[in-house]
Amino acid sequence: MENVFQSQHPLVQHKLTKLRDKATKPKKFRELIREIAMLLIYEATADLALDETQVETPMGIASGALLREKIGLVPILRAGLGMVDGVWEMMPGAEVWHIGLYRDEKTLRPVEYYNKLPVDPTVQVCLILDPMLATGGSAVATVDILKKWGAQRIKFVGIIAAPEGIQALHSVHPDVPIHIAAVDKCLNEIGFIVPGLGDAGDRQFGTG
């Protein structure tokens, strides 16, 4: 599907396999989320714009390039939080804007509970971070919020998607590239990705 990028990197696949393992404890789980996020962001940012510049080294002048656009990291609470640190290390100048959404257990529709975006957009590129793209409702709602805010470019970076989630996000927001480590088989009757990894929030925070 156009605008859907599934990582083929062996390190991503290796770490993803460890992440899925039900025996993986929260500490290791958080480390893996962080590491996979760093690898995925490397791929997701390959087309960021650069401004050419020059830099003075101890030996002379070198030509170089610096990021042109201001980047915003937008983790969807809670599970997206674990993807922030590693990505932020790669882009320490990024702003972090949290969006709080939870899925209503019955309707599976996202409910917004935290949004402190200022009136005008402060970044040009928004990178939404959320390990799970299940029905796609949370991702669609977050893109809606960011577009209304005035974000010019938005990308979704996740770890595991259900085909239903990819379809939902792509059909409502086809301009938003989806970067993902794996596309699984399906959703089950309670909206969990199968085989997936269980509840990414609970497994990170030890609340399962």
Instruction: Report the interface residues with ligand PRP, using CB under 6 A.
Output: 76-79, 102-103, 108, 110, 130, 132-139, 165, 191, 200-201
Our CB check for ligand PRP shows the closer of 93 and 116 to be 116
**Of 17, 107, 109, 207, catalytic:** 107
Q: Which residue is nearest to ligand PRP (CB)?
A: 201
Catalytic annotation present for 199: yes
**Of 20, 85, 144, 202, catalytic:** 202
Our CB check for ligand PRP shows the closer of 77 and 172 to be 77
**What is the widest separation between alpha-carbon atoms in the chain?**
65
CA angle, 101 as apex, 30 and 168 as ends, to 5°? 95
Catalytic annotation present for 202: yes
CB of 55 to ligand PRP, least distance (A): 40
Catalytic annotation present for 103: yes
CB of 186 to ligand PRP, least distance (A): 13
CB of 198 to ligand PRP, least distance (A): 11
Angle of helix 137-149 relative to helix 163-172, nearest 10 degrees, comes to 20
Our CB check for ligand PRP shows the closer of 67 and 102 to be 102
Our CB check for ligand PRP shows the closer of 124 and 167 to be 167
**Of 20, 85, 103, 144, catalytic:** 103
CB of 105 to ligand PRP, least distance (A): 9
CB of 54 to ligand PRP, least distance (A): 43
d(CA 203, CA 51): 41
Question: What single letter denotes the amino acid at residue 5?
Answer: F
Question: 69, 125 in Cβ contact below 8 A?
Answer: yes
Our CB check for ligand PRP shows the closer of 163 and 191 to be 191
Catalytic annotation present for 104: no
Catalytic machinery residues: 103, 107, 199, 202
